[in-house]
Amino acid sequence: MSLFLIAALPFLGALFPALLIRAGRNASASSAALATGLAFVGLMLHAPAILRGETVQVGIDWLPVLGLHANFFLDGLGFLFATMILGIGLLIILYARFYLSRQDPMGQFYTYLLLFQGAMVGIVLSDNILLLLVFWELTSLSSFLLIGYWKHLPEGRQGARMALTVTGMGGLAMIGGMLILGHIAGSYDISVILQHKDAIQSSDLYLPALILILIGAFTKSAQFPFHFWLPHAMAAPTPVSAYLHSATMVKAGLFLMARLWPVLAGTPEWFYIVATTGLITMVIGAVIALFKDDLKALLAFSTVSHLGLITMLLGFGTKAAAIAAVFHIINHATFKAALFMTAGIVDHETHTRDIKRLGGLRHLMPVTFVIATVAALSMAGIPPLNGFLSKEMMLEEVSHTYWLQNPYLLPGLATLAAAFSAAYSFRYIAHVFLGPKRDDYPAKPHDPGFGMWASPALLVTLVVLIGLFSARMVGPLVDAAAGAVTQSHPHAHLKLWHGVTPALYMSGIAVLGGAVLLALHAGLLRIWNAVPRPEAKVIFDALIGAVTDLARGATARLHDGSLTRYALIMVTFTLAISVFAYGTGTIGAPTREQQAVGLLPLVGWICLIVATACIVLFHRRRFIALILIGIVGLIVSLAFNFLSAPDLALTQISVEVVTIILMLLALNFLPKETPVETPVPVRMRDGVISILGGLGVGGLIYALMLRDFAAPSISEFHLANSYKGGGGTNVVNVILVDFRGFDTFGEIIVLGIAALVIFALTEAVLSTRVRAYLLNREPDMPQAGDSHPGLMVVVTRMMMPVALMVAAYIFFRGHNLPGGGFIAGLIAAIAVIMQYMASGFGWATERQRIPYHGIIGSGVLIAAATGLGAWFNGEPFLTSAFGYVHIPPLEEFELATAALFDLGVFLAVVGAVMLALESLSRFAWQPGIPTEHAMDINPARDTAAQDTNEV
């Protein structure tokens, strides 16, 4: 099976459990198991090749420019991890089916689990470190979902957050390290990087890269001082703990160290950082574990300790130590997953995980007792179980490794850790299962059904078999994986009896010491509780709190809610960089002559200047400012017309009309005056900034206009091809509907969205208490005597068809003469708005049968369909076609698909303008009060209204 499929199967499978949960919990669990099982089978098909020492590679270029390739490869190491991830994943799926209660959303659980599984498989199969990073971050995210699965538990949420923070920060550091590594090696492909050991280790960037990558690995694998997140992640359901903390998530860091071992290991830096961290973690984890009363906390710290052990072995940098590390990864996964599952069974059956409340369970839960005992003895390192073998190999390596030339330090501390390890393993057996039967269990314990103990039972069978027949069971696998780690062909001598070696003595001391420690447990616990020690969670919370306060403080200072200040900062900054650009740039001499000024432009200019100045002077009187801005708009449209832009003039003047109406509608509700709020110095400052800005912009355009184009303009192309290619003589319109049709298409969509936003805002505002306020609102200005003057009503009704005819005329001539969809749409909208204004909202709404949303939508759809039509002719999107038709007795006329596109523009503009204005009008409209008779002028109306009021 292709590696792509193996990596993709868990992700594909993740879709099903959440969907199939409707068909029942068995269907959901089966679909998860099926996906995992298929991937597992696919992986096993590669087993013969891998165990022969071959590697399988597939790959496609994803983003070659960035060096990111979707390359996968499978070697011994990847195979070992993928086998554990998928194999134990299957067992967890079975176990979780019976562990989770009916209240737990099981579909979600399996979906998260498969997402996580897919991310893990992705990590171990990646042949590209950038791809690996993507999967790495995915494990952080999906494990967050899994750890926080019991959302109702605060510990679950906190634990998930802590795990995400710690591993996420580590991932961030690792991205940096990986990029440096790829930079040194000149490739991001792992198989290439692994060939560049000397280049990497002699590089100046080796140490930074090493430290950054190790931070990523240590956080993930819960190494000291990042070990504290792991015990807090125990708030997750036990299947999650068993999966994440035995075989997968925490092993990802180990995997990474093993994966990059060939290029990173072997230096003193590697030895002292990795081996020392591993040693400290191993000892601390083992000591703390002994004093934990929570079963899962005990296992969590023992996991920390064992991860430290493997890290230390990888840190030694020797081939034998690497073999021992690989072997212990297998053994730890088997016995620890089984132990977590038995802890889950105990919790499930007795409703407590507190060792102080347990004991004597061997009579009540014999099956669980056997499974737990075998697994715990393996963890303690008792022959002939598999834990003993790898622990012997570890002690053997330790016995001849010198730390700073000190021959006793490493063996001494390793033996100490092994003794504590034996002690907490014995405690797991003795204080939970042995001892007298109690009568105060929170629930009546008994062995669970087969479904629940099948998975741990299978695992302890492996524990025993690997212990007894290690060479035959896992010899080739260890060889292949260690071969991948060390890039050689090692042969592991896995056997129970190595003769009387220093390691045997140390093992013996450790086991005896463990028994003694357990015997002294009660006394040691008192000392332990009496000695003050730093609490990692408190430190972590304080750190996070400090960071949060810092962020909040910085945000509050920068983002203080004063929009004026933001605007001021932006304008000043723009001015500053403009001044810088002006000071550093160069400008050539003017190449164009200033054109003569006629009387008419001068008059227009004076109007504009005076109007603008008056806006600034009288902006506090809002109606006057609005009228003045109308004048500015008018002059601008006249200027467009004068300067050879008839289309712009038409558009500007019609937009002007709807904008002013819109602002008038809004001003109806807003205060009519702006109070004086800023002191004179502030206004002076704003004035200076504004004048500087104005001078800059004016000066820029002045300099621009007096010079020719710096580069040849593309306008010539449009002028030359407008008629030949687009079939229209109005070049501006042809650009809009043809050359740049895609822009226009986006444009009308934006306009439609703006209108919908306005509609939605209206709905939202009117559904609050604002509605009541509006209904009871007293007008703050004198009302017109007749809100619908008869003259206006009559005139607007008569003008309606005329205005629409003008719109149609403007629309149709648009392709060849000034006009087009935009302008025609605005004119049509104005024609309709006139009806609203003259005859009232209620009257107009009653006669408005097509909703404006629909008009916008149909416009966009027509434009899109026109564009898509080009596909049927094998042309790209929005290619236009046109032809000339002659039907007697009409003149010859043109038919162009561009006109259809323009129709879409027309409809979208009409719909958007109308929807915006209609929404605003609804603020003024009071439902239930019929708009008064718009057309029928009836003198009895006032008395009739009075009668209604009296009733």
Partner 1 sequence: MELLVASAVGLLTAAGIYLILRRRTFPVILGTSLLSYAVNVFLFATGRLITNAPPILNKYAEVPYTDPLPQALVLTAIVISFGMTAVVVMIALGAYLSAKDDSINMDETASADGEDA
143, 235 in Cβ contact below 8 A?
Answer: no
Cα dist from 471 to 263, 314, 874, whole Å? 29, 21, 66
Helix axes 295-316, 276-290, angle to 10 degrees: 160
Binding piece for partner 1, criterion CB under 8 A, among 7-15, 194-202, 311-319, 734-742: 734-742
192 sits near partner 1 (criterion: CB under 8 A): no
DSSP code of residue 23? G
Residue choice 426, 640, 836, 901 for contact with partner 1 (CB under 8 A):
640
Q: Specify whether the CB–CB gap between 816 and 896 falls below 8 A.
A: no
Half-sphere exposure of 759 (CA within 13 A, CB side): 16
Residue 878 CB, shortest distance to partner 1, in Å, is 15
Q: Helix (H, G, I), strand (E, B), or coil: what is residue 73?
A: strand
Answer for the pair 284, 417: CB distance below 8 angstroms, yes or no. Answer: no
Of 62-70, 294-302, 848-856, 905-913: span binding partner 1 (CB under 8 A)? 905-913
Smallest gap from residue 563 Cβ to partner 1 (A): 5
Site for partner 1 in 816-845 (CB under 8 A): 816-818, 822, 826
Q: Output the CA torsion sign for 333, 498, 482, 308.
A: positive
CB 395 within 8 A of CB 506: yes
Secondary structure E strands in 249-367? none
x-or-dash pattern for partner 1, window 909-928, by CB under 8 A? x--xx--x--xx--x-----
**Residue of 827, 786, 804 whose CA lies nearest to 909:** 827
Please say which residue, 118 or 825, places its beta carbon nearer to partner 1.
825
A 10 A CB-CB count for 173 gives 18
- Residue 531 CB neighbours (<10 A): 7
Q: For 652-665, b where at least 16 C-beta lie within 10 A, e where not — what string?
A: bbbbbbbeebbbeb
Among 406, 729, 873, 946, binds partner 1 (CB under 8 A): 729
Q: What is the DSSP letter of 873?
A: T
- Which of the residues 752 through 811 are near partner 1 (CB under 8 A)? 754-755, 757-758, 761-762, 764-765, 768, 770, 773-774
User: Is there binding between residue 169 and partner 1 (CB under 8 A)?
Assistant: no
Residues 526, 520 contacting (CB under 8 angstroms): no
Decide if residue 603 touches partner 1 (CB under 8 A): no
CB of 265 to partner 1, least distance (A): 56
Interface with partner 1 by CB under 8 A: which range of 150-158, 339-347, 508-516, 654-662?
A: 654-662
CB of 548 vs partner 1, minimal distance in Å? 18
Which of 217, 731, 830, 837 is close enough to bind partner 1 by CB under 8 A?
A: 731
Beta bridge partners of 834: none
For the CB of residue 925, give the shortest distance to partner 1 in the complex, in Å.
14
Q: What is the DSSP letter of 675?
A: P
**Residue 887: CB minimum distance to partner 1, A:** 22
The answer to whether 636 contacts partner 1 (rule: CB under 8 A) is yes
Q: Based on CB atoms, which residue is closest to partner 1, 54 or 747?
A: 747
Q: How far is the CB of 124 from partner 1 (least distance, A)?
A: 50
272 vs 742 by CB, closer to partner 1 = 742
Strands 68-74 and 882-885: unpaired
Residue 179 or 568: the one with the smaller Cβ distance to partner 1 is 568
| Residues in 523-582 that interact with partner 1 by CB under 8 A | 560-565, 567-568, 571
CB 666 to partner 1: min, Å: 5
Tell me the closest approach of the beta carbon of residue 616 to partner 1, in angstroms: 5
| Residue (484 or 828) nearer to partner 1, CB | 828
For the bound state, the minimum distance from the C-beta of residue 531 to partner 1, rounded and expressed in Å, comes to 45
Closer by beta carbon to partner 1, 455 or else 652:
652
447 binds partner 1, rule: CB under 8 A: no
Looking at the Cβ atoms of 168 and 601, the one nearer to partner 1 is 601
DSSP per-residue string spanning 628-658? HHHHHHHHHHHHHHHTT-HHHHHHHHHHHHH
Chain-centroid distance of CA 167 in Å reads: 16
Q: Please give, one letter per residue, the 3-state secondary structure of 818-884.
A: CCCHHHHHHHHHHHHHHHHHHHCHHHHHHCCCCCHHHHHHHHHHHHHHHHHHHHHCCCCCCCCCEEE
In whole angstroms, the minimum distance from the beta carbon of 602 to partner 1 comes to 7
Burial of 543 by CB count in 10 Å (0-12 exposed, 13-18 middle, 19+ buried)? exposed
Choose between 211 and 658: whose C-beta lies nearer to partner 1. 658
Asked if 333 contacts 252 with a C-beta cutoff of 8 angstroms, the reply is: no
Interface residue with partner 1 among 56, 169, 273, 615 (CB under 8 A) is: 615
CB atoms within 10 A of CB 183: 14
Q: Which of 934, 904, 687 is nearest to 791 (CA)?
A: 934
- Residue 702 CB, nearest approach to partner 1 (Å): 3
Q: Measured from the CB of residue 241, what is the shortest distance to partner 1 in angstroms?
A: 41
Cα first-last separation, the chain: 84
Q: How many CA atoms lie within 13 A of 596 on its CB side?
A: 2
Which residue's structure tokens are 């669970």?
448
Site for partner 1 in 740-759 (CB under 8 A): 740, 743-744, 747, 750-751, 754-755, 757-758
Amino acid at 773: Y
Element of type H or E holding 180: helix 154-185
Q: What is the DSSP letter of 593?
A: P
Binding residues among 879-898 for partner 1 as defined by CB under 8 A: none
Compare residues 538 and 704 and give the one whose CB is closer to partner 1. Answer: 704
**Of the candidates 353, 718, 788, 922, which one interacts with partner 1 according to CB under 8 A?**
718
Task: Report the alpha-carbon distance of residue 461 to residue 483 in Å, rounded.
Answer: 27
Q: Does 1 bind partner 1 (CB under 8 A)?
A: no
Q: Which of 579, 706 has the CB closer to partner 1?
A: 706
Closest contact distance (angstroms) between CB of 636 and partner 1 is 5
Q: Which is nearer to partner 1, 129 or 912 (CB)?
A: 912
Is the CB of 361 or the CB of 863 nearer to partner 1? Answer: 863
Site membership for partner 1, residue 669 (CB under 8 A): yes
Nearer of residues 526 and 565 to partner 1, judged by Cβ:
565
The CA-CA-CA angle for residues 39, 44, 45, to 5°, reads 100
Cβ-based burial of 471 (10 A; exposed 0-12, middle 13-18, buried ≥19)? middle
Q: How far is CA 274 from the centre of its chain?
A: 32
* Nearest-5° Cα angle at 304, 490 to 244: 85
Longest CA–CA separation in the chain, Å: 122
Q: Pick from 205, 645, 799, 806: which binds partner 1 (CB under 8 A)? A: 645
Nearest approach, Cβ of 915 to partner 1 (angstroms)?
9
Judged by CB under 8 A, the number of residues near partner 1 is 117
Residue 304 vs 638, nearer CB to partner 1: 638
Alpha carbon 346 to its chain centroid, in Å, reads 38
Residues 256-285 that bind partner 1 (CB under 8 A): none
Out of 23, 512, 706, 937, the only residue in the binding site for partner 1 (CB under 8 A) is: 706
Helix, strand or coil for residue 70?
strand
Rounded to a whole number of angstroms, the minimum distance from the CB of residue 608 to partner 1 is 5
Identify which range of 321-329, 431-439, 475-483, 666-674 contacts partner 1 by CB under 8 A.
666-674
Which residue in the set 276, 399, 612, 879 belongs to the binding site for partner 1 (CB under 8 A)?
Answer: 612
Q: What residues from 673 to 692 belong to the interface with partner 1 (CB under 8 A)? A: 674-675, 677-678, 686-687, 689-691
Q: How far is the CB of 523 from partner 1 (least distance, A)?
A: 54
User: Which residue lies nearer to partner 1 by CB, 402 or 717?
Assistant: 717
CA 510, 511, 513, 517 torsion-angle sign: positive
